[in-house]
Amino acid sequence: MKAVLYIVWQCTWGILQTLLGFVHFLIYIKSKHYFYHGAIVTEWNNRSSVSLGLFVFVTAEPYFYEKLKEEYSMKELSKRLLVHEYGHTIQSLLLGPLYLIVIGIPSTLWGFLPYYNKKRKDERLSYFSCFTESWANACGENVTGETSMEQLVID
């Protein structure tokens, strides 16, 4: 029943990001797909991961594995990343049409602007210290009961 409500809510209140996610889903239709707590997950070969409403796109092999392989297995990091990205879908449920403005834009800027990349690297800041990302971690952990990325330094 929870999964049905999740899907209906994402397809109504979260329709903007779900439509964007559906377009991406169609583009990557030949990739591996599975369900996770009602979300449709696609494993793709992109370096980054993204959540768009009902759809979650996770990197098949986290690029930061090499940096953290002494402490975590690839499987563990992939699972933590999935919990984090699922947390973004919960943000979508809460924010609806505001998700792309409140979460999408700041998250994209934090992840891709050279200024922030340099700042994270120079100050050894966790990517997950940005409010959009730490909130996604908390949402994913609260809903799934599983561990997310926490404050891992991945850059």
Q: How far apart are CA 94 and CA 92, in angstroms?
A: 5
In the chain, where are the structural domains located?
A: 2-144
Whole-model pTM: value is: 0.95
Phi–psi pair at 29, nearest 5 degrees: -60, -30
Q: How confident is the model over 42-85, as pLDDT tens digits?
A: 999 998 999 999 999 999 888 898 889 899 999 999 999 999 99
Taking the alpha carbons at both ends of the chain, their separation in whole angstroms is 39
